Every structure is written in structure tokens, then in C-alpha cells.
Amino acid sequence: MKKDEISEVRLFFYEIVKESFQDEPDAALIDIFNQLVDNLKKNYEVKDEKVEFIIESFQTVLQNLDLQKIKEEYNILFVDPFSNYLIHKNASFYIENKNFGNTLVKIRDFIWRLELFKSEDYFEPEDSVPFISDVMIYLIDNEYAINVQYDFFTKFIAPLMEGLCTELKNSEMANFYACVGLLMEFFIEMERNYLCDAIINA
């Protein structure tokens, strides 16, 4: 794969992660997942149990759940303050076991240095999954040095997404999002390998 193609794949994944956690899912997002599953089925040449499991899981879930059910799942997992199944989406929680911690300050410091600012209509903190996915999209889009991307990934994205994936996979209320967790887990592993190789070859 060429570098541009790799960047495109990375951007696509960060984009769907961002979209999955930013707001309740809509038909467009579900379509993207359907297409992704189809593409993986058709085009993923290497025999891989993990990928097969992800495809199977997504197929089962998408066949059995309509959009309304997926929206309800989103609200139970991430929105309803009285839900007993709430899952945190912030890096501080998975790194320091508390929200609004030092990790949030460090991410704010990082984006301050990039001269990026959170728009006022965006309510999630800067260490939330959608926001840090967006930061990574910005870094890839603007071809920031690979060590900057690697640092941001290892310090913030990887610990957050690993923790979040585990929570999603273990949640008894997560079906669609358990599949998203599986996909994210697969993607993080690929991203980690890519960034490590890129750092070595830089």
C-alpha cells in the first residue's frame, strides 16, 4: 500500500470512530458500517479469525437491530445519566481513573500548541473519543511528523481506546457498540504496528 492509501484508510477509521461516538448513530453511519462489512468480506484477502469474527458479529447485529434500537443502545451506554450501564468516553477516565484529570489538561496543552481550539458548540471535553479522533484526523490530514502522531497515539488514543473497547465488549447492554469495540481493537493494533514501523523507518 502506498502512503497516501494508508493515510486514507487511517482517516476513514478515525472518521467512523468519531462519528460513532459523537452523536447518536444515524442511517448514514449504519450504511457506512454495512458497506465496510461488505468490503471486508469481499476484499480482505488474508485469512484472519479476528476479521471473520468482526464481520460475523456485525452481520448478525445489523440484521437483527434496526436504527431505532441502535439509537436506544447509544443512549443507554453514553447519554442517559440514570442508566446503570453508562460507559465513559474520556481518556482521563481510562488513564487516571477519573474524569477531568491531568490527561485532559495535557491534551488541551497539546492542541494549544497546535493552535487548535474547540468550537463553542462542541460540548464534549477535549479528551473524549470523538475529539481526539478529530485531532488525529487533523494530524494525518496536515501530514504532521510521524513522531508527533506516534506520541499522540501512544499517550492518549491507545489507552483510551483499549479501555473503551474492553468496556464495550464486556457491557451486557452493548450489541452494536460491542462490534464497534471489536473493530476499534483491530484497528488500534494495525495503527500501532503502522506507527511503530513508520517511526523505525523515519
Partner 1 sequence: MADYKLKVPNNLLLISDNTKKLRKYEEILGGIYNIYTIFYSDIFSKEFFASKNIKISGRFPAFNVNFEFLDVIKFDICSYCGKCYKECPEKCISVNLDINFDKCTLCEKCEIVCPEKCIGLRSLKTSEITTAFILTDIDELIDNYKLPGIYKFEDYENVLSLTGEFLISESISHNDNICQYSGKRDFGCKRCIDSCERYALYVEDKKIKIDHLLCVSCGKCVSVCPTGAMQSMTVSDVDFIDSFKENNFKNKVVVLGNHEEIRGFKWKIDDEYTYNYQFIESEPKYFNLLNYLFLFSCGASKLIILDERLCNSNQILFANRLIEYLFNYSDFIVFRDDGYYGPNPLSEFYADYSFDTRRKKLASIIGFLFEKSPVRKVLIDEEYLNIFGEVELDELKCSLCLACVNHCKIGALSANQMNYSLNHNPSYCIQCGICEDVCPENAIKIRKGLLLSEEFFENKELFRDEPIVCPECKKEFASKKAFETVKRKLIKSGYFESKGKYLNYCEECRVIKILELNA
Binding stretches for partner 1 (CB under 8 A):
98, 100-102, 104-105, 108-109, 112, 117, 125
The DSSP code sequence of 97-144 is SSSSSHHHHHHHHHHHHTT----TT--S-TTBHHHHHHHHHHHHHTT-
CB of 161 to partner 1, least distance (A): 22
CA 87 to the chain's CA centroid: 14
CB of 100 to partner 1, least distance (A): 5
**Looking at beta carbons only, is 105 or 190 nearer to partner 1?**
105
**Looking at beta carbons only, is 44 or 112 nearer to partner 1?**
112
* 88: Cβ contacts below 8 Å, ≥ 6 apart: 94, 99, 164, 167
CB of 170 to partner 1, least distance (A): 27
181 contacts 174 by C-beta, under 8 angstroms:
yes
CB of 119 to partner 1, least distance (A): 13
**Looking at beta carbons only, is 125 or 159 nearer to partner 1?**
125
CB of 135 to partner 1, least distance (A): 14
**Looking at beta carbons only, is 160 or 174 nearer to partner 1?**
160
32 contacts 158 by C-beta, under 8 angstroms:
no
Contacts 24+ apart (CB under 8 A), 82-87: 85/171, 85/172, 85/173, 85/174, 87/164, 87/167, 87/168, 87/171, 87/174
**Looking at beta carbons only, is 47 or 81 nearer to partner 1?**
81
